[in-house]
């Protein structure tokens, strides 16, 4: 069960691949994430400051622990170019124990 390790998947979008790579490297270097998957560009539609906006973004899937999440969130807020970046943490309710253990071992809270 994932509860043993308190693993989270954090969703965050970056404005381009270069930014996404910089954010991912910072999180892994600081041991706030074990792994970051950079997905194919996606089109995001959203309302911002009363206007409908459309942007191409790079979705990031960040694997971390609940213990490291506050520092991970603070780091993303510090380094992300958006005023209000999407930062959403989802609990992992089940997973391969060896993988979840690896995530927990790679992340330092």
Q: Which residues contact 59 (CB under 8 A, 6 or more apart)?
A: 11, 12, 13, 38, 39, 42
Interhelix angle 69-79/17-29, rounded to 10 degrees, is 140
How buried is residue 66: exposed, middle or buried, by Cβ count under 10 Å (0-12/13-18/19+)? Answer: middle
How far CA 62 is from CA of 69, 87, 103, in Å, comes to: 10, 10, 11
Query: Mind listing the pLDDT tens digit of every residue in the chain (109 residues)?
Result: 455 679 999 999 999 999 999 999 999 999 999 999 999 999 999 999 999 999 999 999 999 999 999 999 999 999 999 999 999 999 999 999 999 999 999 999 7
Q: How confident is the model at residue 109, as a pLDDT?
A: 78
């Amino acid at each position: 069960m994932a509860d043993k390790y308190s693993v989270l998947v954090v969703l965050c979008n970056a404005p381009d691949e270069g930014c996404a790579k910089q954010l991912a490297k910072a999180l892994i270097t600081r041991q706030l994430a074990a792994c970051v998957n950079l997905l194919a560009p996606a089109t995001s539609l959203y309302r911002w400051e009363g206007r409908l906006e459309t942007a191409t973004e790079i979705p990031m899937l960040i694997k971390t622990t609940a213990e490291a999440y506050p520092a991970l969130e603070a780091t993303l807020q510090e380094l992300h170019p958006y005023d209000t970046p999407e930062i959403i943490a989802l609990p992992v309710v089940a997973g391969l124990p060896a993988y979840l253990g690896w995530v927990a071992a790679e992340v330092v809270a």
